[in-house]
């Protein structure tokens, strides 16, 4: 009997739903259905369809290994990585598209990678003319498919971001070499080594100054602030573990998409509406109070920073019209947003 996955509100390490999509696509291309994949990984039959908002990182790793086995594909991780798209990286993928150059894009990757997944972390080491990108999985027992999917994804996305194939870069994997390394050479080039001290890719540091073609740099402040708030809420939920922090985190992620109604948030947390209402009631709050407080806190921070227009802030907070935001903000603070900004600018 399949072991049900833990509900999202009880998860530790997580993977955002969009990051799971390339895995499902790679499996489907090899004749493996979502139901078969879920069963092989010990998940309920309906766990992958529709695409979940979040998934436990351990479940994702089991799905990756199950996909390789069911598809009889020794290079399944590489093939998953090749299907990475802009949306795979969730919010921080849009930030990368607004970065002026690859150096800034890598810096944002290190900052916001956790918004897409808690599978591992990126670091960048620059020594003179040489740079080295490193990725360390959080699970020391993770299979090679995980690491190879990450590096293939970065390679494919990097080519797309540059609008041209990036120069070949020597890649080193910490795991042992598979029997056939032909796919590795096709994706990464001839210089692929195994059994190294870490997972890394070395390249000329001059690549960091490469511009991102057609980058919408004007959107960078807006997206960066939004991502900072999402990261803050995620970290708060991780440290608190309470239902209020988790609901705030879900609300922050979904405000701009107008997906902050009680049924949708309950579904994302994998609990019933009634259970969510009861848990919030136990904490002395209603869903509307949590929503209002989250919007209030975000609005105050956005207004104090001064980088966003009031219409943009209204959109980020999920208001259909600026007038609705103005009315709500005046109820919260006694001031309209413009007056509040005038009093608190720079504080």
Spatial contact of 234 and 164, defined as CB atoms under 8 Å apart: no
More confident residue, 315 or 270: 315
CATH number of the domain residue 236 falls in: 1.10.10.60
Q: Please give the average per-residue pLDDT across 214-234, as a whole number.
A: 86
On whether both 260 and 334 belong to a single domain, the answer is yes
In a domain, 3, yes or no: no
In a domain, 134, yes or no: yes
Q: Is the pLDDT of residue 323 over 50?
A: yes
Phi, psi of 137 (to 5 degrees): -70, 145
Q: How confident is the model at residue 8 (pLDDT cuts 50, 70, 90)?
A: very low
Residue where a domain terminates, one of 190, 209, 228:
209
pTM confidence score: 0.73
Q: Is the pLDDT of residue 19 over 90?
A: yes
On whether both 201 and 230 belong to a single domain, the answer is no
pLDDT in tens, 293-304: 899 988 988 888
On whether both 195 and 289 belong to a single domain, the answer is no
pLDDT in tens, 33-62: 999 999 999 988 888 988 888 888 999 999
Task: Please report the pLDDT score of residue 224 as a whole number.
Answer: 87
Q: Residue for token digits 């990725």?
A: 135
On whether both 337 and 289 belong to a single domain, the answer is yes
Number of domains in the chain: 3
Length of the chain: 347
On whether both 117 and 72 belong to a single domain, the answer is no
Q: Is the pLDDT of residue 282 over 90?
A: no
More confident residue, 258 or 141: 141
Q: How confident is the model at residue 245 (pLDDT cuts 50, 70, 90)?
A: confident
Q: Is the pLDDT of residue 5 over 50?
A: no
In a domain, 28, yes or no: yes
Q: Is the pLDDT of residue 9 over 80?
A: no
On whether both 223 and 339 belong to a single domain, the answer is yes
Interhelix angle for 57-70 vs 144-162, to 10°?
A: 90
Q: What is the dihedral of CA 176, 181, 186, 191, to 10 degrees?
A: 60
pLDDT in tens, 150-188: 999 999 999 999 999 999 999 999 999 999 999 999 999
Task: Please report the pLDDT score of residue 308 as a whole number.
Answer: 83
Residue where a domain terminates, one of 46, 64, 81:
81
Q: How far apart are CA 159 and CA 154, in angstroms?
A: 8
Q: Is the pLDDT of residue 214 over 50?
A: yes
On whether both 329 and 260 belong to a single domain, the answer is yes
In a domain, 277, yes or no: yes
Residue where a domain terminates, one of 209, 232, 251:
209
Task: Please report the pLDDT score of residue 232 as a whole number.
Answer: 81
Residue 179, domain extent? 86-209
In a domain, 1, yes or no: no
Q: Is the pLDDT of residue 247 over 50?
A: yes
Q: Is the pLDDT of residue 98 over 90?
A: yes
Q: Is the pLDDT of residue 346 over 80?
A: no
pLDDT in tens, 21-37: 999 999 999 999 999 99
Task: Please report the pLDDT score of residue 291 as a whole number.
Answer: 92
On whether both 154 and 197 belong to a single domain, the answer is yes
Phi, psi of 48 (to 5 degrees): -110, -5
In a domain, 73, yes or no: yes
Average confidence score pLDDT of the chain: 89
Q: Is the pLDDT of residue 87 over 80?
A: yes
Which run of H or E residues covers position 181?
Answer: none
Q: How far apart are CA 196 and CA 179, in angstroms?
A: 17
On whether both 279 and 308 belong to a single domain, the answer is yes
On whether both 204 and 224 belong to a single domain, the answer is no
In a domain, 2, yes or no: no
In a domain, 183, yes or no: yes
On whether both 171 and 157 belong to a single domain, the answer is yes
Q: How confident is the model at residue 244 (pLDDT cuts 50, 70, 90)?
A: confident
More confident residue, 5 or 131: 131
On whether both 77 and 96 belong to a single domain, the answer is no
């Amino acid at each position: 009997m399949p072991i049900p996955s833990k509900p999202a509100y009880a998860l530790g390490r997580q993977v955002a739903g969009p990051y799971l999509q390339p895995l499902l696509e790679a499996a489907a291309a090899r004749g493996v259905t979502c139901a078969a994949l879920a069963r092989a990984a010990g998940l309920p039959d309906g766990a992958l369809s529709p695409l979940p908002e979040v998934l436990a990182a351990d479940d994702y790793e089991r799905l990756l290994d199950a996909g390789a086995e069911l598809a009889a594909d020794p290079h399944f991780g590489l093939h998953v990585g090749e299907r990475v798209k802009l949306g795979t990286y969730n919010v921080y993928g849009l930030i990368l598209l607004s970065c002026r150059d690859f150096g800034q894009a890598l810096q944002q990757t290190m900052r916001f990678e956790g918004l897409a997944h808690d599978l591992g972390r990126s670091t960048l080491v620059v020594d003179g003319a040489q740079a080295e990108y490193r990725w360390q999985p959080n699970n020391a027992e993770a299979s090679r498919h995980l690491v190879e999917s990450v590096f293939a994804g970065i390679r494919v996305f990097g080519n797309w971001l540059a609008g041209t194939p990036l120069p070949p870069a020597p890649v080193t994997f910490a795991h042992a070499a598979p029997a056939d390394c032909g796919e590795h050479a096709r994706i990464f080039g001839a210089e692929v080594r195994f059994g190294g001290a870490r997972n890394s890719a070395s390249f000329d540091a001059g690549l960091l100054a490469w511009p991102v073609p057609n980058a919408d740099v004007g959107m960078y402040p807006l997206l960066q602030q939004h991502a900072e708030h999402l990261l803050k809420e995620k970290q708060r939920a991780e440290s608190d573990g309470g239902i209020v922090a988790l609901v705030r985190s879900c609300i922050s992620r979904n405000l701009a998409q107008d997906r902050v109604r009680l049924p949708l948030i309950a579904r994302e947390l994998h609990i019933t509406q009634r259970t969510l209402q009861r848990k919030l009631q136990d904490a002395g709050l209603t869903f509307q109070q949590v929503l209002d407080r989250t919007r209030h806190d975000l609005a105050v921070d956005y207004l104090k920073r001064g980088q966003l227009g009031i219409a943009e802030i209204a959109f980020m907070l999920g208001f259909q019209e600026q007038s609705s935001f103005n009315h709500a903000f005046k109820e919260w603070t006694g001031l309209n947003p413009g007056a509040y900004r005038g009093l608190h600018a720079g504080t």
